[in-house]
Chains A and B, each alone.
Chain A
């Protein structure tokens, strides 16, 4: 959005500079036009596969359902993207409003159900009624007697893209059909379809074919569609090379419903639309460089923020905000070039020339420079502050980048190592230290890729960013108590022993859009949200209930014992696992003695043996602390202090 950044409070310009490219990344917009054939065979549901009650959609209705699902999904995940639905082969004809005169005649038997645009509530409604209301669909979904020229359909799509989404970064045409040879007997029509397909290619539109095989007929791409579909995608050099040329035909034969199969094919066509940073030099050793691109795979999806709506007109309208800058003293408007940056200091402003400002932030050219390698175990779990960026080789600047990257990937993966790097993402971006570690390719049960092979660049915090641990008391749980807890943990492993994000939709986000949808479509507002993040209480009770109760008893026992030792008089505590832990006001206990620490005897022995230096600093410190002696200084000083202590005795 053009004015997304304008609500930022003053003084956040610096962050804005930093995030700039990420917002550009977000606005790499996508326009998808579903082009769905309507014909006798497309309207015939497949024969029932087995006795099980299976949803039996005709191919056309499965495709429409698919478009409906995608439309709802994209309103949430890609609120700026466009979508449209064009049916062809219908008896009725309809093109863009207002262009009836020309278009209506030009594209017979093409029915533009939803014009290409950011979907509106009405679009969702119209599509839904077609999907859910049989009467509606019977009215519209009537095949025409005449065969439709594919050239005409493709040119119709061309016009839709040209007028509705002229400068969208990504434009895709999803073609759903079961007819692998629409112009078997007409060479001229076949040729002109190929020409129109080339037009689309030159316009920058990608045609994705979703072929449907019928039980009695395997879809054969080579008959017609290989002349229509282009493989490469030269107009957008930022996108990765396609992983596979064509989608396998969808059919019901593999046990899935047609809808399911179509949906998964369409989802698999999600390509990285734009790199976060492109062809950045990746310096593996001094002077030895390859090029890589970075992609955002993980990013927190937030609901679109509230906007202002103008209600005075016929239809509510979203008002767009325009920000103008003015000088506080005279309220005159200010041009961007006049603006100076100043830092507040001691109640006033400290100024720098623009050259100085940029030189302060300049720590060299963009790039990833490897400093060296460490075992992955040296990457602390807490050293994280934002999602990692996926990096993948690019041959754009250095031929051979891919094989070198692959060799490094392999080595790091085999040895559980990571690289540490100095990383500047863009010109004048703040340098960060990043850990770069490998990720193996992950496939699902059907062999489809769910996570690509590549490396992950994880920006690390600096010493400045680490907060001190809050002070607290250390009371180590006694072994028997840990044993009880271990039993509990072992019982409650997540399915397949893995956290699968696919199973946890964001409940707040879903609810937000669910309510908006209900309001927009004038539906009833649902009462309760579906929230898959709520733990399965019943299962937890069933599988670990007795074990947690055991643990509760053990805790009670161990705690009383500890208290008797540490606090003298024990007060009987309440029973029942659930609220007995809210005991407050217990006295602070001494740390260091007993558990983990070293006692005087051991310390003395160590001095006699001269092995004091072999003790760890924390050991020495905790002993000193327990004695109320200063714990500061280097190890040698600690040792000296302890030795002195015993000498004076």
Chain B
């Protein structure tokens, strides 16, 4: 669990915040709120009960705070007490943050109120306390030095963090200075700055704060060990020589998934009055005046989608050949091939291999023989038991020995008793202030598919000859051009470090997950701006989507040479498999099989037993559109017969395959209309139950196989548009 957090935002809403300055399209308040909303919504997004916040309005028209009896605390308004802020709170806040008609109200007093709020809320408990003040510094400030030093003492004593972000404040480190600043603002800035410095806070200018919003924040996760036990070499049960070290294993890489969406549909009972459809018990009383939480229902008028699961078995007597069975009549089991192997509930573990937790070294391999591509999984770090100094020293000796010998250890890991064993590779990692082993899982025999591909450095001919010069092999010019280009496009020194020295460009720590942060940004934006379009994606998320311009410019000549030497030609889309070209289909001997049959009829007969080959062969000999049409007609009739005679769904797969062949061949022959006419007719027959009763399942198979109309996008000759094709398939 992360620490509890309480943050109070003080937002200056004075009249002066309503102005638009320095060519900005937003008023100062709107501009500043980009920053504040971003911060608030990222807290809301954590969905943590312990991440709480409060909001104070400064220089408000009204006065509403604990100390509002005192004159110096006028025009300060608590907009939100410290709590876990939810979406309705956010909406309410949004309506409250408005430029006021006054410039009265003291920022220092507001800080005092914030301190009070936090103190009252957090008492002496362990909280991370923080105050964020956003102001333009144009109000009056009570700069009484004694008061200020009291405040800074209190802030320090309670370990609060004070952050002041000012609109158009000077920040020389960042490089911003406001020209023609009013003396008053200058004094105010100085006052706030010294206060912040006194209590080791953060002082910055709004421009920088907004600019940095795009840099994603990394979420800290408390490490949770995935294995605690011993690292052993040998068997400590039976051999005195066995070596054991107490270790712990923690994740090193763990993919952070983007926020996931859930499924909802529009409620259908919305016409009714909201409350009347709900029984009163479901309304949760809510002191803060929040909207009541009805499970699954949401003020947007959405209700969640649930899944219902039913089970079917094959029953030849039932209509459609299947019937539903009750879940209670079902037992657990496994499939062995197509045989159901029933295992009673109590024996369910019988197929589980019994194992004992442990990390056991099998042997060692040198770095040089390890192929990186066999790494299978996320990586973890293995360290010695944290408080065990002897184990730390022991593991250190293994880490260093592996490092010096440039070796890895191969080990069998069982994280918990009766978990499946995995094989991991343990690599030494030594940094100035950190030592550990890093592990990654290795494949088992069953995890590899041995597919074969022709080699890339030679070409084997059918006769078994090996040749080194071929259009698929690079010639010397291409190899040289490639080499020069690759060298030019080197990233290893293209980046800059903090000192401006050469450094690695695009290290992993500079890359952020685009989808993760994009969705995060959009959701938070939409929460505050329900009716505005989503702002563009932050530049940092797409920075590494293309090579850096400067580098591209540097390698321009090398790339030109490479392109010339490569002589790559794009295949025009037309010829891409869309031409029926079957002339060169011959067995290895080159025998002309078609000629074997002697003279052939122009319209060969297609039999229901062997329709696909005979259809293809009929198309081969067809020399006119009539021939094609005749073959297609014959196949169509066979398809209909197959469906009509099908017992249940037994012949559907055949019919689907035949349809697919018919469709593909008509596309290749550029005769989409023949297929389109047929499939329209077939659909009509299927749905009107003309092919032996209810053939709804068959229509579903056609939809699933996307065997609908051939559209123009696929075949030029088709007059069917995308919409029509879509409608055809989806309508019933």
Cross-chain contact A474 with B331 (CB below 8 angstroms) = no
Kindly supply a per-residue 1/0 record for chain A positions 410-450, scoring 1 wherever the CB is within 8 Å of any chain B CB and 0 otherwise.
11100101001010000000110100010101000000011
Cross-chain contact A320 with B449 (CB below 8 angstroms) = no
Chain B positions within 8 Å of A374 at CB level: 490-492, 504
Contacts A15-B257, A371-B544 given; indicate if A584 touches B388 (C-beta within 8 A): yes
User: Is A468 close to B, CB under 8 A?
Assistant: yes
Q: Tell me how far the C-beta of B82 lies from the nearest C-beta in chain A, rounded to whole angstroms.
A: 16
Cross-chain contact B239 with A537 (CB below 8 angstroms) = yes
> Interface-forming stretch among A177-185, A251-259, A457-465?
A457-465
Cross-chain contact B654 with A456 (CB below 8 angstroms) = no
Cross-chain contact B381 with A470 (CB below 8 angstroms) = yes
Partner among A267, A341, A586 whose Cβ is within 8 Å of the Cβ of B263: A341
Contacts A326-B306, A360-B522 given; indicate if A516 touches B297 (C-beta within 8 A): no
- Give the docked Cα–Cα distance between A155 and B607 (Å): 13
Cross-chain contact B485 with A285 (CB below 8 angstroms) = yes
Select from chain A the residue with minimum beta-carbon distance to B642: A166
Kindly supply a per-residue 1/0 record for chain A positions 190-212, scoring 1 wherever the CB is within 8 Å of any chain B CB and 0 otherwise.
01001101111111100000000
- Give the docked Cα–Cα distance between A315 and B47 (Å): 51
Kindly supply a per-residue 1/0 record for chain A positions 218-236, scoring 1 wherever the CB is within 8 Å of any chain B CB and 0 otherwise.
0001100111111110100
Q: Tell me how far the C-beta of A600 lies from the nearest C-beta in chain B, rounded to whole angstroms.
A: 18
- Give the docked Cα–Cα distance between A300 and B449 (Å): 11
> Interface-forming stretch among B203-211, B342-350, B627-635?
B342-350
Chain B positions within 8 Å of A361 at CB level: 515, 518-519
Kindly supply a per-residue 1/0 record for chain B positions 491-504, scoring 1 wherever the CB is within 8 Å of any chain A CB and 0 otherwise.
11010001100001
Chain B positions within 8 Å of A147 at CB level: none
Contacts A317-B314, A384-B375 given; indicate if A464 touches B389 (C-beta within 8 A): no
In B634-676, the 8 Å CB interface with A consists of: 653-654, 656-658, 660
Number of interface residues of B (CB under 8 A): 253
Kindly supply a per-residue 1/0 record for chain A positions 286-301, scoring 1 wherever the CB is within 8 Å of any chain B CB and 0 otherwise.
1111100001111111
Contacts A465-B254, A506-B446 given; indicate if A584 touches B387 (C-beta within 8 A): yes
Q: Tell me how far the C-beta of A187 lies from the nearest C-beta in chain B, rounded to whole angstroms.
A: 10
Select from chain A the residue with minimum beta-carbon distance to B664: A235
Select from chain B the residue with minimum beta-carbon distance to A406: B456
User: Is B172 close to A, CB under 8 A?
Assistant: no
User: Is B410 close to A, CB under 8 A?
Assistant: yes
How many A-B contacts if CB must be within 8 Å?
Answer: 870
User: Is B394 close to A, CB under 8 A?
Assistant: yes
Cross-chain contact A454 with B456 (CB below 8 angstroms) = yes
> Interface-forming stretch among B96-104, B190-198, B591-599?
B591-599
User: Is B516 close to A, CB under 8 A?
Assistant: yes
- Give the docked Cα–Cα distance between A140 and B68 (Å): 103
Cross-chain contact B241 with A549 (CB below 8 angstroms) = yes
Cross-chain contact B261 with A357 (CB below 8 angstroms) = yes
In B521-571, the 8 Å CB interface with A consists of: 522-524, 526-527, 534, 542, 544-548, 551-552, 555, 559, 562-563, 566-571
Q: Tell me how far the C-beta of A524 lies from the nearest C-beta in chain B, rounded to whole angstroms.
A: 13
Cross-chain contact A301 with B438 (CB below 8 angstroms) = no
Chain A positions within 8 Å of B401 at CB level: 482, 485-486, 488-489
User: Is A369 close to B, CB under 8 A?
Assistant: yes
Select from chain B the residue with minimum beta-carbon distance to A125: B339
Chain B positions within 8 Å of A320 at CB level: 311-313
User: Is B259 close to A, CB under 8 A?
Assistant: yes
Contacts A360-B518, A385-B377, A420-B506 given; indicate if A197 touches B252 (C-beta within 8 A): no
Cross-chain contact B336 with A513 (CB below 8 angstroms) = yes
Select from chain B the residue with minimum beta-carbon distance to A479: B400
User: Is B33 close to A, CB under 8 A?
Assistant: no
Chain B positions within 8 Å of A321 at CB level: 309-312
Chain A positions within 8 Å of B589 at CB level: 222, 226-227
- Give the docked Cα–Cα distance between A529 and B354 (Å): 9
Cross-chain contact B404 with A482 (CB below 8 angstroms) = yes
- Give the docked Cα–Cα distance between A293 and B243 (Å): 47
Cross-chain contact A468 with B546 (CB below 8 angstroms) = no
Q: Tell me how far the C-beta of A204 lies from the nearest C-beta in chain B, rounded to whole angstroms.
A: 8
Contacts A410-B457, A501-B447 given; indicate if A616 touches B479 (C-beta within 8 A): no
- Give the docked Cα–Cα distance between A202 and B245 (Å): 64
> Interface-forming stretch among A37-45, A85-93, A131-139, A237-245?
A237-245
> Interface-forming stretch among A5-13, A55-63, A641-649?
A5-13
User: Is B77 close to A, CB under 8 A?
Assistant: no
Partner among A311, A473, A508, A585 whose Cβ is within 8 Å of the Cβ of B331: A311
Contacts A14-B260, A330-B268, A347-B293 given; indicate if A464 touches B516 (C-beta within 8 A): yes
Partner among A158, A395, A458, A475 whose Cβ is within 8 Å of the Cβ of B396: A475
Cross-chain contact B445 with A300 (CB below 8 angstroms) = no
A225, A306, A529, A578 pick with most chain B CB within 10 angstroms:
A578
User: Is B622 close to A, CB under 8 A?
Assistant: no
Partner among B304, B365, B499 whose Cβ is within 8 Å of the Cβ of A328: B304
Cross-chain contact B308 with A515 (CB below 8 angstroms) = no
- Give the docked Cα–Cα distance between A101 and B257 (Å): 60
Kindly supply a per-residue 1/0 record for chain A positions 158-170, scoring 1 wherever the CB is within 8 Å of any chain B CB and 0 otherwise.
1100110011000
- Give the docked Cα–Cα distance between A586 and B596 (Å): 90
- Give the docked Cα–Cα distance between A467 and B334 (Å): 38
Chain A positions within 8 Å of B440 at CB level: 381-382, 384
Chain B positions within 8 Å of A456 at CB level: 372-373
Partner among A408, A439, A470 whose Cβ is within 8 Å of the Cβ of B386: A470
Cross-chain contact B450 with A267 (CB below 8 angstroms) = yes
Chain B positions within 8 Å of A540 at CB level: 233-235, 239, 241
Partner among A454, A544, A559, A584 whose Cβ is within 8 Å of the Cβ of B453: A454
User: Is A48 close to B, CB under 8 A?
Assistant: no
User: Is A577 close to B, CB under 8 A?
Assistant: yes
Chain B positions within 8 Å of A289 at CB level: 568
Chain B positions within 8 Å of A536 at CB level: 362
Contacts A470-B383, A477-B397, A501-B444 given; indicate if A342 touches B433 (C-beta within 8 A): no
Chain B positions within 8 Å of A618 at CB level: 431-433
Select from chain A the residue with minimum beta-carbon distance to B294: A329
Cross-chain contact B508 with A462 (CB below 8 angstroms) = yes
Cross-chain contact B429 with A477 (CB below 8 angstroms) = no
Chain A positions within 8 Å of B427 at CB level: 381
A75, A79, A363, A465 pick with most chain B CB within 10 angstroms:
A465
Chain B positions within 8 Å of A592 at CB level: 433
Contacts A452-B453, A485-B400, A507-B421 given; indicate if A350 touches B609 (C-beta within 8 A): no
Chain B positions within 8 Å of A197 at CB level: 587, 593
Q: A230-B586, A290-B566, A372-B489 are in contact. List 19 more A-B contacts (CB 8 A).
A: A167-B660, A226-B588, A240-B453, A310-B329, A327-B267, A346-B527, A348-B88, A351-B264, A381-B379, A387-B373, A407-B474, A415-B486, A430-B515, A461-B253, A489-B398, A489-B407, A501-B445, A505-B445, A541-B235
A-B contact list, 7 entries, CB within 8 Å: A13-B260, A198-B613, A350-B87, A420-B491, A465-B256, A508-B352, A577-B243
Q: Which 8 A-B pairs have the closest CB atoms?
A: A618-B432, A545-B241, A346-B87, A508-B420, A226-B589, A477-B397, A407-B474, A202-B613
